[in-house]
Structure 1
Amino acid sequence: MTASVDCPKRPSTMATKSDLPDATPTVFVVDDDEFVREALETLIQAAGWRACTFASADLFLACPPAAGPSCLVLDVNLPGLSGLDLQTAIAGERGDMPIIFVTGFGDVPMSVRAMKAGAVEFLTKPFGEQVLLNAIGAALERSRVAVGNQAALQALRDCYAHLSPRERQVMAGVVSGRMNKQVGGDLGISEITVKKHRGRVMEKMHARSLAELVNMSASLGLSVR
């Protein structure tokens, strides 16, 4: 039987409580052994997390990512796409979802490859329930931080998108350390006009100080002259 458990819904344009980083975390499980899937589902739900189980990598890939914190408990040996191949396939688009590998046939080269590719744990069956729960807890905390950071960065990008072209020019000059008069000279505008633009930049970016604005610029990856 290859049923999966309630895939997360695709995010809507309006955020709801379930879309936020503090929503119930989701633990994805990909294992071709039905008994293992059912046992892990029960264990995960008993711990207070949401479980979504899949019998193959393809079924997992057909399910949209979780909006909040999540992790993946992944068997190495799967029909079709292997666990290690799945890890490679999702590395770019689900970077905030830590992977915990589980296998009954692990070896050192396999574990090294998985860990080098970013896996947070590599457990060999059989393993204790608490060992797995500890690994999942640590992975979800790591995901929660990543999801929160991504949300904060997206909010920053949204603020920057609302700046006018001139405000962006003023911001670039200010964060580079130039005085208002120098920025005005660069742009061919008066110092008073620069101050007005600078004030609007600080307001739109929700920056409380110049140092904070500089940090925001660095987070956005903006070049400094």
Structure 2
Amino acid sequence: MSTDNYIVHVVDDEEAVRKSLAFLLTMSGLAVKMHESAAAFLAAAPGIPPGVLVTDLRMPDMNGVELLSALRDAGAMMPAIVVTGHADVPMAVAAMKAGALDFIEKPYSDEVLIAAIQRAAAEIETASPAGEDTAAILGKIAQLSDRERQVLSAVVTGLPNKTIAYNLDISPRTVEVHRANVMAKMQARSLPELVRMVMAVEAPAK
């Protein structure tokens, strides 16, 4: 999608971060609008034309996941990227379930953010989420062993490796091996991508 056809909305409670992102995105040829709080953006969202949202996760008035949920409830959802310095599996899962297309952990490179915004912008023009179709994802899941499916199910639920190991009565190291195999067989480059795949086919791994 042409950069002239959408605005990148940045929601972050830290002024220095907003200014830094505004400079980066503007120099990359993107139109940008800053919002100092989730509440301020939420109030304006219903009247905002199609755009891309880049929101911080941890903010004092309302966190990024809560913002996405509120936007969805208000019928004002837009392609969104959640950025945080405190990434963990449960929060990544929560962000994906709330509608985020990407979950990016600080520090990140400029290229990673710009690429995420470009992918999000492509969503504006499509009626359905980008990515593989259900059959392709199910085909990859079918290649997993029973144990790998158990690990997949636990990972996308947000459980840490130690808890998965305890629940399955295996060692944390074995969980790591299974997890790596799952990522490879599913051809997922990141946890958010893996979560999106599973969400796309609802709950295939039990």
- TM-score w.r.t. structure 2 length? 0.56
User: 2:72 aligned with 1:94, yes or no?
Assistant: no
Deviations along 1:192-216, whole A, 9 cap, x unmatched?
Answer: xxxxxxxxxxxxxxxxxxxxxxxxx
Could you tell me whether the CA contact under 8 Å between 1:24 and 1:49 is conserved in 2? Answer: no
> Which sections of structure 1, spanning at least 5 residues, go unmatched?
1-20, 148-225
Normalized per residue, the structure richer in helix is: 2
Q: Distance in 2 between matches of 1:44 and 1:74?
A: 14
Q: How many residues align?
A: 125
In the TM superposition, what are the counterparts of 1:141-180 in structure 2 within 5 Å?
A: 141-146=122-127
1:115 aligns with 2:75: no
Determine the structure 2 residue equivalent to 1:104: 85
1:170-220: per-residue Cα shift (whole Å, max 9, x none)?
xxxxxxxxxxxxxxxxxxxxxxxxxxxxxxxxxxxxxxxxxxxxxxxxxxx
Hey, what does 1:66 align to over in structure 2? 48
Q: In the TM superposition, what is the alpha-carbon distance from 1:22 to its structure 2 partner?
A: 8.3
Does residue 1:34 correspond to 2:15, yes or no? yes
| Alpha-carbon separation, structure 2, partners of 1:133 and 1:113 | 23
Find the aligned partners of 1:31 and 1:91 in 2 and give their Cα distance.
19
- Residues 4 and 30, structure 2, Cα contact 8 Å, conserved in 1: no
Query: Whose Rg is larger?
Result: 1
Give the alignment's Cα RMSD to 1 decimal.
2.0
TM (norm. structure 1) is: 0.52
Distance (Å, rounded) in 1 between the aligned partners of 2:85 and 2:59: 12
Counterpart of 1:125 (choices 103, 106, 114) is: 106
Q: 2:65 aligns with which of 84, 87, 90?
A: 84
